[in-house]
Structure 1
Amino acid sequence: MNINFINQTLNYAIRKAAEKMRAGQPSRNRKLSRAGVICLLIGAEGGSLAKELHRADIDVTPAAISQRRAQISPETFRDVFQRFNASCEDSGNFRGYRLLAVDGTSVNIPRNPKAPSFVQNESAPNGYNQLHLNPLYDLCNKIFYDALIQPEPQKDEIGALIEMIKRNHFSEKTIIIADRGYESYNVMAHLLEKPNTDFLIRIKQNHSAMREVARLPMFELDCEIGFTITTTQTKEDKEKRYIFLQVPKKSKPGAKTRRGRWDFPSPYQMKIRIVRFQLETGEFETIATSLPRTFTLEDIRELYHLRWGIETSFRDLKYTLGLVNLHGKRDAFAEQEIWAALTMFNFTSRIVREAVVKQPPEGVYAYRVNFEMAVALCREYFRTNSADSEKLLQEISRYTVPIREGRRDKRKLKVKGFVGFTYRVAA
């Protein structure tokens, strides 16, 4: 894709989303338009609002921006994200399949006890606020495909995945890759029923594993298992050793039914493939998949390894795109900035694909674009009228980092809180 086309496509998506909102909510002419606010937040860095306004040469106060933001729904920012994605062609694939990883991550926001995102428990008596982001991430094209945002107290990753499966039409062959936590008969059934969709889910392998998996010997294997799901406990069900799911007859709105949720008729026959492989540490990983035998055990191992791309995308989203520095206390403001960050992430990724990185003829390492610098350069390009696209590509190609394969580092699990500024955060 041409860089000018990518830029024009994003600006067009912003205009159409703003026009759609204006049609439903007519308003007086204002110094700062809705489209202007959306552009400001998509191109904003992790600084104060006053700093962002100065950089954008917009002569209004931070309080005026907050009042204007309150008139724009987070759905408008989601509309921009979706329109931008729909207008761009992302052709990267794995043997003809689009690879979509799913996982969840928490986004810390300023403390506000009155907000739906407020969490308070024995381990956090003073409470804190978090939103939970559940995205589908395209591993080959390095873009966010879809996402669903929930208040942390209402977090339901399995429910979020099912919702995204339902609302997306997968026009090309797609593999959904998930880690433990998405192990659910209901998820597997939804993916089996969805056209053009396969799954690869890491599952438990100890005493709490699926009944048929727990019976399998603990060594590398590749086999198919079949079973029947039922939501009743009749004598016939028990004799045929159907898997019983205790599904609540009535669920309160917002209830976390999770693994007890079942959306299909009963009884329901299911057949899945179980692949188990050994790691270099000697431990085993067990994968449930619907992929055909043309995908070997080594292919399955490689696909699961590729899932790590969504973890690195979260790091970039929070620290490179600046989701640790938000500009408002309201949940709606935080949602706006999450959608804005997802959009700028995709904008940068699509431009980076057009950059050519010259490799040293006798270098020890291959080199790739420094994504952190690319984000800074793409933000500046997006904010600047009539910016030079060729100069942007040259600048991006200048900033590279070596690719060091096989590096290992223990995951740093220290909890990081919301990073505030020295000024009062807008309510």
Structure 2
Amino acid sequence: MPRPGQSRSSSDERLPDRIAIGVLTKAFPPELVDEVLAVTGRGEQRKRLLPARVVVYFVLAMCLFSREGYEEVTRLLTQGLAWARRWRGQWQVPTTGALSQARARLGPEPLKALFARVAAPVATASTVGAWYRGWRLVAVDGTTFDLPDTPSNVDHFGRPGNSRGEGQSAYPQARVAVLAECGTHAIFAATAGPLATHETALVRELFGELASGMLLVADRAFLGFDLWRAAAGTGADLLWRVRANAVLPVVEQFDDGSYLSEIVAARDQYRRADPITVRVVEYTLGTDETVYRLATTILDPQSAPAAELAALYAQRWEIETALDEVKTHQGGSNFVLRSQHPGGVEQEIYGFLLTHHALRSLMHDTAHAAEIDPDRLSFLRTLRIARRQVTDQAGFSPDTSETITTSGP
């Protein structure tokens, strides 16, 4: 240890003081990672080859470089340190087995806690394309992640049947539900569970992140009396598609073509006790004879005309795009998570979501500075830039004043 007033030489520094993940270090500074580790009881009890902070950064880098092996990911995190003279200490790249054990020691809790601290809607009041008449547009949806075919993953998560109804699929799957900001694709709430867990059960766990001033868009799989009441109880407004067989009596017709109606619990379908008043918008698209129906908590047509709500429903596809960015662009083609055990699966899922949120936050900041819609920026190009800067800027937090241009095809 240096004496008082004496600076510590770089050879005395520990690797965790230097390792970083390029531009993403702005979203996950070491101080925040250390705080989360302390809160979740994963702080260091003794010095290790792989301290907990390094393992957190390793998991995030693993999700950034999803096609690389464990040892190669570690080299990518550290290779920039030596040539730039940012690290002179001795450190041996751990083996795959050591990295697997380190991930198991860390568990999923720090990544979940880090996501809870960092993930939030990122649009400001002036963000282009993120708002409708003062409402922040958000959407809810679910997806599945393919997992390695190990006994523990199968036992915990389950395996779907195949598409022909014969036997079972090749991979077990985890079910994930998310909330995302439509205008920025920032996923700000998520939960995961076994495949047998119904999507609506997972979605209910996310409602604590809804708030007044949000307009939540959802497809027809979610409309149910209890779920609607729970979501509306958060203060957020709702715009959900209605199943074709739902009974929606006309209570009052409005000039814009919408009408007031009521939804009731399935058990009260005939008595229609304890109804919830909703406003219904019906429309068709082009020559398609299908009648689309939307239910909303916005009962006043002057506040949100029917034609605008019908057009607005298309924003629900933005959450599909966000999930595709995670699974197709970050994960790659034929994407299968690499974790062999349930705890690692959950840890890895949150690692992917954290990395995606950091990239989308970076894209929002860049678009905001240029006063353009974040949709005009390329997620794939941003991902490539982030990967390059992990090696180019290893060990340094990014210059927060730098603007990264990501627009283009």
The equivalent residue for 2:40 is 21
AA in 1 matched with 2:248: E
Question: In the aligned structure 2, how far is the partner of 1:13 from the partner of 1:212?
Answer: 50
Greater fraction strand: 1
CA contact (8 A) 2:147 2:338 kept: no
Q: Secondary structure of 2:206's match?
A: helix
Question: In the aligned structure 1, how far is the partner of 2:117 from the partner of 2:325?
Answer: 22
Alpha-carbon RMSD across the aligned residues, in angstroms, is 3.3
Q: How many Å apart are 1:26 and its aligned residue?
A: 5.8
Question: In the aligned structure 2, how far is the partner of 1:22 from the partner of 1:381?
Answer: 31
- The change in CA–CA distance for 1:173 and 1:129 in structure 2 (over 3 A counts) is same
AA in 1 matched with 2:94: V
After superposition, what is the alpha-carbon deviation per residue over 1:362-401, rounded to whole angstroms, capped at 9, x for unaligned?
xxxx99322112022224445622255379634x34x521
Question: In the aligned structure 2, how far is the partner of 1:307 from the partner of 1:70?
Answer: 37
AA in 2 matched with 1:317: V
1:10 aligned to which of 18, 28, 45: 28
Q: How many Å apart are 1:226 and its aligned residue?
A: 3.0
Question: In the aligned structure 1, how far is the partner of 2:183 from the partner of 2:160?
Answer: 39
Q: Secondary structure of 2:59's match?
A: helix
AA in 1 matched with 2:49: K
Higher relative contact order structure (alpha carbons within 8 Å, sequence separation ≥ 6): 2
Question: In the aligned structure 2, how far is the partner of 1:391 from the partner of 1:174?
Answer: 30
| 1:286 and 2:293 matched | yes
- The change in CA–CA distance for 1:42 and 1:213 in structure 2 (over 3 A counts) is farther
Question: In the aligned structure 2, how far is the partner of 1:290 from the partner of 1:210?
Answer: 17
| Worse overlay, 33-42 or 84-93 | 84-93
- The change in CA–CA distance for 1:19 and 1:60 in structure 2 (over 3 A counts) is same
Question: In the aligned structure 2, how far is the partner of 1:330 from the partner of 1:302?
Answer: 43
The equivalent residue for 2:173 is 130
Question: In the aligned structure 1, how far is the partner of 2:147 from the partner of 2:50?
Answer: 26
CA contact (8 A) 2:239 2:297 kept: yes
2:197 aligned to which of 144, 151, 155: 155
The equivalent residue for 1:39 is 57
Question: In the aligned structure 1, how far is the partner of 2:339 from the partner of 2:359?
Answer: 25
The equivalent residue for 1:371 is 379
The equivalent residue for 2:9 is none
After superposition, what is the alpha-carbon deviation per residue over 1:173-200, rounded to whole angstroms, capped at 9, x for unaligned?
11111111102111111123222x1111
Q: Which runs of 5+ in 2 are unaligned?
A: 1-21, 79-91
CA contact (8 A) 1:224 1:274 kept: yes
| 1:329 and 2:335 matched | no
The equivalent residue for 1:425 is none
2:187 aligned to which of 144, 156, 169: 144
Q: Secondary structure of 1:104's match?
A: strand
CA contact (8 A) 1:229 1:270 kept: no
AA in 2 matched with 1:157: E
Question: In the aligned structure 2, how far is the partner of 1:201 from the partner of 1:69?
Answer: 40
After superposition, what is the alpha-carbon deviation per residue over 1:208-228, rounded to whole angstroms, capped at 9, x for unaligned?
x222359999xx941001365
AA in 2 matched with 1:168: E
AA in 1 matched with 2:97: A
Q: How many Å apart are 1:87 and its aligned residue?
A: 10
1:205-244 aligned within 5 A:
205=244, 209-212=245-248, 221-226=257-262, 229=265, 231=267, 241-243=270-272
TM-score, structure 1 as length reference: 0.73
The equivalent residue for 1:186 is 226
| 1:269 and 2:305 matched | no
After superposition, what is the alpha-carbon deviation per residue over 1:319-376, rounded to whole angstroms, capped at 9, x for unaligned?
22227253321122122111111111111111112325999xxxxxx99322112022
Q: Percent identity?
A: 18
- The change in CA–CA distance for 1:72 and 1:372 in structure 2 (over 3 A counts) is same
TM-score, structure 2 as length reference: 0.76
Question: In the aligned structure 2, how far is the partner of 1:5 from the partner of 1:16?
Answer: 20
Question: In the aligned structure 2, how far is the partner of 1:369 from the partner of 1:118?
Answer: 38
CA contact (8 A) 1:104 1:157 kept: yes
